[in-house]
Amino acid sequence: MIVFGHSLGGNMLMTALGDDLVKKVALHEGGSYMQPVLGDLVVLINPASEASKWTAIQRTLWRRLALINGERRRGEAYEASQSFFRDDQRPIFLSVTAARNWPPGGRQQLDCSSGDRVQNTENAVVQQLAEYDWATHDMFPAFKGDLRPLADRIELWGTQLDPGDECVQKHRSFSESLLHPARTTAIALSELIRVLPFMQTDPEQTQTIGNLDPPRSPRGNLHSYGATMKPFGTTHEIRASDKQSQLIKRKMSDKPPTREIPLDYLEVSSLEASCPVALGWLSRAKAEKIKEETKADGKAGKHYATNWDTYDLKPSENASEGFPALRFIHGFDTGGISPPTRPNDPFWNIRAFDTALAEHDGYMLTSFICSMNQLVLDDVTRISR
């Protein structure tokens, strides 16, 4: 049984189940299997719900576990945090949001060196503004009294440059301003409303669940994984995989650029929405990550599957051990942030690129529907013998 809630429906589910989830975490016995709170899986799609409702769960878990070295806890406490949830724990509560900023939070000045510019251009996701969910990213904060995201949208229209990307900002001359009076007015308006007094500026109250990203470490770059000092917010990413071996049958557009397009409701049960079996992909992805870390370390000590990525999955001789319909990442690819959760955590707050979930109502994609169903219909933590 999968329960989906979209937009305000997601808020309804989050509000109804939030207290039960906090209690589940508070009473959970380390090393035991956490049972679902409703059915087998609850999925919130672009939920119009305050991030504080999700961070309440994360804070309850944060108080119980040793998560970062800055806490200066005993080594046993960090080991216990890795086994707090079992290796075969499946996700029980998901939030998926069509995110705006790639990488999370946008590029900062420390990412703008010449070396990083060359590397970033190799990543199609970095430096690209996705077809994000403007309703929960821009309008929801405005209704809650925070006009800053709306100001960014107005500035983007006026400058044609993403205000969340510090590496593309440039000074506009007076003559350019005269040539484009409408855009100049838009920029001035954005600067005005961004600093209006008495705005609500607590991001956990004004941003929605999937639009609150953990802050980056002040050191490092997009290709390193610095520990965040506030491990609250999004935890995973999804996007379409570009590996031929991991592609499933999808409904594609006939006109360039070729990309997956939404299904009609009558097509959901058609061949164009066919979904392959994918057993054990979550366990296999974690095993691949541990194998990679062991090889890099050269030691057979304790390794965990932090930053597991289904892109690393290898084809199997067993046809049923297929691939998820989308690329799932624990943490953030080229984001400069360590995952704020342990690899076995059953609560996934997923930021989605527009190849997986676009805009507010773009969830009728074969790959998205299939990937969500695979989490329940297939035993994703099955371990091959």
Which amino acid does the sequence have at 48?
Answer: A
Two tokens at 115?
């070396």
The residues near 45 (Cβ < 8 Å, ≥ 6 apart) are 4, 5, 6, 7, 10, 96, 357, 363
Compute CA distances 15 → 49, 52, 53, 83, whole Å. Answer: 8, 11, 7, 29
Q: Residue 31 CA to chain centroid, in angstroms?
A: 26
Name residue 327's beta-bridge partners. Answer: 239
User: Taking residues 319-334, what's their average pLDDT?
Assistant: 90
- pLDDT of the residue at 120: 43
The neighbour count for residue 362, using CB atoms within 10 Å, is: 20
The residues near 82 (Cβ < 8 Å, ≥ 6 apart) are 304, 342, 343, 344
Please write the tens of the pLDDT for every residue from 175-184.
555 556 777 8
Percent of the chain with pLDDT over 90: 53
DSSP label of 358? B
pLDDT of 128 strictly over 70: no
User: Taking residues 250-279, what's their average pLDDT?
Assistant: 83
The neighbour count for residue 334, using CB atoms within 10 Å, is: 16
Please write the tens of the pLDDT for every residue from 289-307.
999 888 877 665 678 899 9
Please write the tens of the pLDDT for every residue from 50-107.
999 999 999 999 999 988 877 888 888 988 999 999 999 999 999 999 999 888 988 8
pLDDT of 230 strictly over 60: yes
| Domain-wise residue ranges, the chain | 2-102+212-377, 112-122+135-205
Please state the length of the chain.
Answer: 385
Q: How many whole angstroms separate alpha carbon 202 and alpha carbon 204?
A: 6
Grade residue 233 by pLDDT with cuts at 50, 70 and 90.
very high
pLDDT of 41 strictly over 70: yes
User: Taking residues 368-376, what's their average pLDDT?
Assistant: 94
Q: How many whole angstroms separate alpha carbon 84 and alpha carbon 71?
A: 18
Task: Specify the pairing of strand 41-45 against strand 93-98.
Answer: parallel
- pLDDT of the residue at 253: 86
Least confident window among 13-22, 158-167, 204-213, 359-368: 158-167
pLDDT of 375 strictly over 90: yes
CA nearest neighbour of 123 among 370, 328, 334? 334
Do the beta carbons of residue 204 and residue 49 sit within 8 Å? no
Do the beta carbons of residue 77 and residue 27 sit within 8 Å? no
Residue 264 buriedness (CB in 10 A; 0-12 / 13-18 / 19+): exposed
Q: How many whole angstroms separate alpha carbon 339 and alpha carbon 79?
A: 16
User: Taking residues 113-123, what's their average pLDDT?
Assistant: 46
Please write the tens of the pLDDT for every residue from 187-215.
888 889 988 998 999 999 999 999 999 99
Q: How many whole angstroms separate alpha carbon 385 and alpha carbon 381?
A: 13
Task: Specify the pairing of strand 347-352 against strand 327-330.
Answer: unpaired
CA nearest neighbour of 129 among 160, 150, 154? 160
Which amino acid does the sequence have at 240?
Answer: A
Grade residue 265 by pLDDT with cuts at 50, 70 and 90.
confident
User: Taking residues 279-290, what's their average pLDDT?
Assistant: 93
Do the beta carbons of residue 57 and residue 345 sit within 8 Å? no
Do the beta carbons of residue 105 and residue 333 sit within 8 Å? no
User: Taking residues 342-346, what's their average pLDDT?
Assistant: 95
User: Would you call 98 helix, strand, or coil by DSSP?
Assistant: strand
- pLDDT of the residue at 119: 44
Rounded (5°) CA angle 149-154-156:
95
The residues near 372 (Cβ < 8 Å, ≥ 6 apart) are 2, 4, 41, 43, 94
Q: Give the chain's mean pLDDT.
A: 87
Q: Which residue has better confidence, 182 or 351?
A: 351
- pLDDT of the residue at 219: 74
- pLDDT of the residue at 312: 93
pLDDT of 137 strictly over 50: yes
The residues near 220 (Cβ < 8 Å, ≥ 6 apart) are 110, 226, 336
pLDDT of 116 strictly over 50: no
- pLDDT of the residue at 191: 87
Grade residue 5 by pLDDT with cuts at 50, 70 and 90.
very high
CA 215, 328, 371, 304 torsion: positive or negative? negative
